Each structure stands twice: as structure tokens, then as C-alpha cells.
Amino acid sequence: MTDTRLDVLCIGNAIVDVIAATDDSFLAAEGLDKGAMRLIDAAEATRLYGKMGPGREISGGSAGNTAAGVAMLGGRAGFVGQVADDQLGEVYRHDITSLGIEFTTPSQQADVPTARSLVLVTPDAQRTMNTFLGAAQNLTVEALDEEQVRQSAILYLEGYLWDPERPRAAMERAIDVARAAGRKVAFTLSDSFCVDRHRDGFNALIDSGRLDILFANEAEIVSLTGESDFDRAVAAASARVPLLVVTRGERGAVAVEGEARVEVPAEPVAAIVDTTGAGDLFAAGFLTGHAQGRSNDVALRMGAIAAAEVISHYGARPEADLKALVAERLG
């Protein structure tokens, strides 16, 4: 195994979040499942946007958020994702590269615009996402830089990539390239509704033995395994993957590696404003710790610290100095 150039290479949908405050009655009137991500087409994006209040545009996308977290924690991060050659694409590229993240996927000169997610945040800080995938769904196998994959210690993929067909093929190829180079592959289930859509595919991927680390939250792991409660779901899933990391919101997080199970509590937060990106930043903290050779309990705490920061403000990218925050809290 040769030296690595990157600690974590993240592949995901390149999405600009359009974040607006709303209330429960708006979600009810629109028939939206609170806390879920749904895919919408261009017409629905235009219609819903027209009904939403004023927005803040902040770069997002699950794996992109994780790459931002890794970079802000001092890790060497890369990102692969498809944007269009438009203003939102420029914003996305700027925000990723200004953090020192390697992002070399060329923009597409297409009629299909850069992806955006209409993120509706209720007063309880829950986010309900309505994603128009746009150019993101046009990420192809050809856009992969296989040498970059080979030179990355960990390849990290979002479950959302399973939705659009072309990125799914790119993801499958990236996994094969990473494994052939002796690298680790990490995967997140992303969203329980996404698990509902792709349960068979996700289970087949896990049982193919090609994943080293699986990230999930409580709802996702229960949905994936079909078990009746959390402990049974963790037991069932952890038997099928070398390292399982499950987040539990205010109840903290659990990592299971073989027979070894460790847990950490959630980090304190003064006020939870917007939970968008909590799981993404948890993964960033854990993966950075893991890449640094830290133990699972320290890596979990790094995840919890990063997640606590991102839920304290609007937007799914950290605003505080994450590296300093982790140094201070880990002591």
C-alpha cells in the first residue's frame, strides 16, 4: 500500500441548500414528512420555492458537508460531485475549495442547473428537505479520478447516491477501485426514507463485504434491518460489517467493532437551531479521528463535538473553528 494523499475522499450529490424558516402548518398543508428528504423535479422545485419564505443559500449535500468537516478538523479531504456551469455551481465550487478540499470534478455545461435542496426548518430545529438533483444526478463513472480514489485512505459515500442511476454506478466503481488499492470504504444510510426506497440494494451492498464502516442513525438502522427495536437492530447490523457507527440524537452515539461496543453521550448545545448536517458532521468527526488512528471512543467524541457545532446555527457547514473546539473539549 503506497502513501495516501487524502485522508477522506467523499463522493456525493453536490447541492446548494436554500434554507427557510417555516412552521408545522406549512408542512401539513404541503403534506411533507417532517425530518425526511424527498426528491422533487424542476416544476415542483419552482412551485414550492414560490410558496416558501426568504432563504439563505449555503452549500450543502451530505458528503460535501462531511468533506467540509474533515477539512475544518485538519484532515486532508477530497470531494467528488457534479455541478453545472452556473452561479450556484460557482458558489458550490468556491465553498468547497476555499476550505482546502480537493475538488476536481469538472462542471457540466448543460441545460440542467446545479442541484438545490429547499430546506424547511421548523421551530423545533427539524429540517425537511426537498431536493431537486439537477446536475448532481449526471455524475458519471467517467468523471471519477481513479488515481485520486487509490490515494485516499478512506472512501466515503452517501446513501443518497443510490437514488440517481449514474452516480450509483460511479459509486460502485469507486468502491471497487478503493478496495483493489487496499483502502477503506465507509458508507452512510443517509435517511430512513432513502433506506425504504433502496433496502434491498443497501443490504446487498453491506453483505457483499465491500464496506468497512457503516454509518446510520436509529431510524435508518431499524428500517434497514427490519428489527423491532434499536438494540436488536444494532446487534443484527454489527454482525454484518466490521465497524458500525450509529448516532442517536440527544442520546449520543454508539460504535460496534466486532465484540467491542463503545458509547458516548451527546455534546451539550446552548440552543439547537437547525439539525441539518448533524449526521454529516458526526461522520466527519469520526472519520477524521479514525484516519488519525484514534480509538473508536475518541473518534465518536470528535463526531459528537462536530455535530453539536453544526446544529447550533442555520446551515450544514461548520462556522466555528472545529479543530480548536475538538482540541479544547478533548483536553
Q: What angle do CA 121, 125, 128 make, to 5 degrees?
A: 40
Stretch that binds a second copy, among 48-56, 126-134, 213-221, 290-298 (CB under 8 A): 48-56
Determine, following the binding rule CB under 8 A, whether residue 258 of this chain makes contact with a second copy: no
Q: For the chain, give me the number of helices (H) and strands (E)?
A: 12, 13
Give the E-state strand segments of 152-236 in sequence order: 152-158, 184-188, 213-217
What is the C-alpha separation between 203 and 189, in angstroms, rounded? 10
Determine, following the binding rule CB under 8 A, whether residue 59 of this chain makes contact with a second copy: yes
Q: What's the closest the beta carbon of residue 188 comes to a second copy, in angstroms?
A: 22
Determine, following the binding rule CB under 8 A, whether residue 95 of this chain makes contact with a second copy: yes
What is the C-alpha separation between 147 and 157, in angstroms, rounded? 17
Amino acid symbol at 241: V
- Give 92 or 187: the residue with its C-beta nearer to a second copy: 92
Determine, following the binding rule CB under 8 A, whether residue 99 of this chain makes contact with a second copy: yes
Determine, following the binding rule CB under 8 A, whether residue 57 of this chain makes contact with a second copy: yes
What is the C-alpha separation between 69 and 77, in angstroms, rounded? 9
Determine, following the binding rule CB under 8 A, whether residue 317 of this chain makes contact with a second copy: yes
Determine, following the binding rule CB under 8 A, whether residue 49 of this chain makes contact with a second copy: yes
Determine, following the binding rule CB under 8 A, whether residue 300 of this chain makes contact with a second copy: no
Q: What's the closest the beta carbon of residue 140 comes to a second copy, in angstroms?
A: 24
Which CA distances in Å does 134 have to 89, 95, 112, 151, 325?
A: 11, 19, 6, 29, 36
Determine, following the binding rule CB under 8 A, whether residue 218 of this chain makes contact with a second copy: no
The SS3 call for residue 199 is: helix
- Give 71 or 233: the residue with its C-beta nearer to a second copy: 71
Give the E-state strand segments of 63-200 in sequence order: 77-80, 115-121, 127-132, 152-158, 184-188
- Give 73 or 177: the residue with its C-beta nearer to a second copy: 73
Q: What's the closest the beta carbon of residue 47 comes to a second copy, in angstroms?
A: 12
The residues that touch a second copy, with contacts defined as CB under 8 A, are: 18, 21, 49-50, 52-59, 68, 86-88, 91, 94-95, 98-99, 113, 315, 317, 319
